[in-house]
Structure 1
């Protein structure tokens, strides 16, 4: 898959074939993540019943039958044995029917802990007991969501992948020894960076630092070895294979975001087969469970390492004495000293991309997820009079700057403001009614519900919860819009990159139209299967199509314009300024009033953040507030168009100047030939 020089003749068949990749990425990643995450529920989740008699056995059987196989209950003799199973992640919960005690390990997966707690709360209630929950492996205060390991692990994986990509495609002539040395060195460096950010910058993690650093090194190195071996064996087609294995399948199978026993069986079965899932599982076990049960993960990584060595061997047999093929040809100086300097500079440049992944991803995402807390969260108190005044004063005194408390006259106004995304929650202290909108963010809704329920109960009432914008069963996590939007943004980005590389001979107008076409096609297919397969659009398919298209076009045009103005450096800007920070600042994964204020600033200015939020708003809130999002995306798209027009005119002037110079030289040559002929004439 080599490219011609920019400005040369464009091969349309080659360009169209290459454009299949951004369309594939725009569709495959959201499809896999939606299939895995859009409706998580326990699947044969292992729980234990403490006891030795018939009662324990009957209860275990009853739990399995009543939950229709969602839980696989077994009997264990005593609580100590049950706790050891929890510590080894062999079980999700242990319930003692004699005492009403439930033992969980939330560090093994917060969603799983919530699921088992809900089930055994009902079981205890049926026997007249009050459930007493003991968390034997709680999440630390500075990593309350429990996903910091996911982002330092993912950064290591991407660093290994991009290091191998750059070595195989940009520096294939260095030889295997140097490739392995650079890959090993980069694995260590990126692991140190990720560890330092998680432990030193944010304090999200605090235990087993050296083991975590070693695991990150291994994970990055194994990822790089597999990809580099594949590049040498089958060429650039290995990129698609690696993306599928490492990202599209590896992350859903890891259990890092959603526990592996809460995703469809296909993904759960891959957990101890793929390197990404095994490596991330190993990180969780090292950080929270002192490495218990890590042997299976290490075995998987060792097997894949052997497979990588096999690919290197086969590649050598296939092309004796040669390294990988040069995929991105670059003019190399012929003079030895200049060649050595060029190689050193190119090697340093190759390290830039993986280093940026190692730095930016943990900084942005660990900073977002490690300790979400309310910050000026808008809450309304319904009614008037002394009780309302007292409630407002109590909330402000207890929460301080965490809440922004206002008074509204009635429940109708509160509901409307919740639907317009102006409030996070509302409470009527006289009636005991609590209103939330979970579609605007599950974390914020849960925090508000807990807080306002306490307010109601302190006044002697029983809280009645009303969700004015509930999430549908088909999207119970509320992240479908995020996956779709990421696909649209990545598709637009990759389309612009490919057009810039393979379509150098096309006019700027045609290049832009190709980017627009890819965005439209990708969005149309996304909406089609999102509607027909996952049923996530309820009367909003057309609006969602428009927003997905707008986001893909905006990111694509920005990338194409930057490519024209500053060259390949724009690729780094799009990735590490627009896409990664934009996803974090979208307010979907973590709501903005639970995140540091920095993310709110990013949300206001980045088109990716605005576009992702707008996709959610058109799906669940009838487009409330999307005007500002469209304005931001429109401004960025317009600026990109202006830059493209300017770059096109500049290139046109340069071409005309070159033609005039060539014509002048031709005239001078002709005149010289005439003069020479005149002199030589007899």
Structure 2
């Protein structure tokens, strides 16, 4: 019976992975990709209507007064591309560092509109990905390499080598682990491999916050709800969180409501934080960092509260004597006549 239950549990976990990743990534395409157009609002609306005929709901077009303002909007992470006037044609400014998949799809659809209107279109990549990481995979694996081991560490801490520790001690252990694992990850990623370069301290801060938020949330869930609590956090953070982040595709290339869910989870918050820190000078990282901080604070509070509302050691039973000690002053009950 135990083996059957285990097989059913493993099958359920597998189904969550399959449904989440296949559901999110099986039919990628632009969804509400923000694009800037230099011109009036009427001109932006007209281009938006033309793009809507190519791909319904694929783009959210807004007007900007100058080409410089539109380019700045890309670097500030307000838009992913900008259509600039360049008589007799136009220039499409993009940033593959924002995501090669969304950039390629945008270029293809804008080119279709330009060809239909007889407009000559040139491309300008103002923030490319490095040659050694042309698909932007490094940032995805940096996040996963911190997220997954942190969940494992949390479970081992509260069920194995740290099960007898006070919750405050477990909290301090998680903090120390987070600093160490983030430092190692940055050392390997930046000077070691040269995959994500130029912002080591920013990466270290994001990595520490991500590792701590994941580990402390998983530890608190395991202390409050044991294996079931840990399983829920694991499934929420890994198959759901990673898939709904869009991974290398980006959030604008998957179903929009699922991408919105992902932005509220650690993986979906950490990915844009890493991306914008490394490639866009730290612009538009406030919201992702606040989300990670919220998970970290909530998890820390939940773990600390187990000191007052849960047994101090997970799975430890009460240590009561096997046989009650007889009271030497007690008298034996008198037999009734």
Which of the five TM-score ranges fits, normalised by the shorter chain?
Answer: 0.7 to 0.9
TM-score, length basis structure 2: 0.87
Partner of 1:374: none
Partner of 1:657: none
Find 1:58's aligned residue among 37, 40, 46.
46
Give the SS at the match of 1:276: helix
Shift of 1:62: 2.6
Q: Residues 109-136 of structure 1: CA distance to partner in whole angstroms, max 9, x if unpaired?
A: 1000001100111222233333211112
Q: In structure 2, what is the Cα distance between the partners aligned to 1:86 and 1:127?
A: 25
Cα distance change of structure 1 residues 136 and 244 upon mapping to structure 2, 3 Å threshold = same
CA contact (8 A) 1:48 1:94 kept: yes
Give unmatched runs, 5+ long, in structure 1: 1-11, 328-682
Q: In structure 2, what is the Cα distance between the partners aligned to 1:178 and 1:318?
A: 16
Q: In structure 2, what is the Cα distance between the partners aligned to 1:231 and 1:58?
A: 54
- 2:203 maps to 1:212: yes
Partner of 1:151: 141
The higher relative CO (CA closer than 8 Å, separation ≥ 6) is in 2
Give the SS at the match of 1:143: coil
Shift of 1:193: 1.9
Partner of 1:228: 219
Partner of 2:272: 281
Q: In structure 2, what is the Cα distance between the partners aligned to 1:326 and 1:16?
A: 27
- 2:122 maps to 1:120: no
Q: In structure 1, what is the Cα distance between the partners aligned to 2:275 and 2:44?
A: 31
Q: In structure 1, what is the Cα distance between the partners aligned to 2:301 and 2:6?
A: 29
1:47-446 alignment runs, 5 A limit: 47-52=35-40, 54-99=42-87, 100-170=90-160, 171-319=162-310, 322-326=312-316
Shift of 1:50: 1.2
Partner of 1:631: none
Q: In structure 1, what is the Cα distance between the partners aligned to 2:42 and 2:118?
A: 19
Between Structure 1 and Structure 2, whose CA radius of gyration is higher? 1
TM-score, length basis structure 1: 0.44
Q: In structure 1, what is the Cα distance between the partners aligned to 2:57 and 2:310?
A: 53
Shift of 1:318: 2.5
Q: In structure 1, what is the Cα distance between the partners aligned to 2:42 and 2:168?
A: 65
Q: Residues 502-554 of structure 1: CA distance to partner in whole angstroms, max 9, x if unpaired?
A: xxxxxxxxxxxxxxxxxxxxxxxxxxxxxxxxxxxxxxxxxxxxxxxxxxxxx
Give unmatched runs, 5+ long, in structure 2: 318-337
Cα distance change of structure 1 residues 158 and 76 upon mapping to structure 2, 3 Å threshold = same
Q: Residues 62-102 of structure 1: CA distance to partner in whole angstroms, max 9, x if unpaired?
A: 32344222212222221222122212322121112454100
Q: In structure 1, what is the Cα distance between the partners aligned to 2:189 and 2:300?
A: 32
CA contact (8 A) 2:213 2:292 kept: yes
Give the SS at the match of 2:60: strand
Matched length = 314
Partner of 2:19: 31
Please list every run of at least 4 consecutive aligned residues from structure 1 whose deviation after the TM superposition is greater than 6 angstroms: none
Q: In structure 2, what is the Cα distance between the partners aligned to 1:270 and 1:108?
A: 20
Choose between structure 1 and 2: higher helix proportion.
Answer: 1
- 2:12 maps to 1:21: no
Cα distance change of structure 1 residues 55 and 163 upon mapping to structure 2, 3 Å threshold = closer
What RMSD, in angstroms, separates the aligned Cα atoms of the two structures? 2.0
Q: Residues 269-294 of structure 1: CA distance to partner in whole angstroms, max 9, x if unpaired?
A: 11321112101221111111111111
CA contact (8 A) 1:233 1:314 kept: no
Shift of 1:168: 0.9
Find 1:43's aligned residue among 10, 31, 43.
31
Partner of 2:330: none
